[in-house]
């Protein structure tokens, strides 16, 4: 049994969903009369993506930021391997 930490994989998935929602909302908002509720919702979701990524997307062991790369082919896994200290974080636990 590993040490319990914040579930960064779940937070990363939420951040990516916010990012994917913000793109069409901003596009729709700009097409319909410039600035409207869709545009502001898109900015809000983009802001959530940035906040979650900057404050929570880091290794719980060494506190170094994890890579910002988004690869949809490999993002389906439920674990993160830190490239710096090489620990594995899975379901909110550090597995060594």
Q: In degrees, to the nearest 5, what angle opens at C-alpha 22 toward C-alphas 17 and 27?
A: 140
How far from the centroid of its chain's Cα atoms is residue 15's Cα?
Answer: 3
Structural domain that includes position 55: 3-95
pLDDT attached to residue 51 = 93
pLDDT in tens for each of the 96 residues of the chain? Answer: 567 677 777 888 888 899 999 988 888 887 877 667 888 888 999 999 999 888 888 888 788 888 776 665 655 566 777 878 878 777 666 776
pLDDT attached to residue 50 = 92
Residue whose C-alpha is closest to residue 93's, from 82, 75, 79, 83: 79
What pTM does this model have? 0.74
How buried is 20 (Cβ within 10 angstroms: 0-12 exposed, 13-18 middle, 19+ buried)?
middle
Give how many domains the chain has, as a whole number. 1
pLDDT attached to residue 86 = 79
pLDDT attached to residue 74 = 58
Say what angle helices 37-56 and 8-31 make with each other, to 10 degrees: 160
């Amino acid at each position: 049994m590993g040490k319990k930490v914040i579930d960064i994989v779940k937070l990363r998935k939420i951040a990516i969903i916010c990012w994917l929602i913000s793109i069409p909302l901003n596009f729709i908002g700009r097409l319909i009369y410039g600035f409207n509720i869709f545009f502001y919702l898109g900015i809000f979701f983009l802001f959530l993506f940035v906040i979650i990524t900057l404050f929570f997307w880091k290794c719980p062991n060494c506190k170094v930021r994890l890579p910002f790369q988004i690869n949809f082919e490999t993002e389906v896994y439920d674990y993160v391997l830190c490239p710096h200290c090489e620990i594995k974080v899975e379901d909110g636990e550090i597995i060594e």
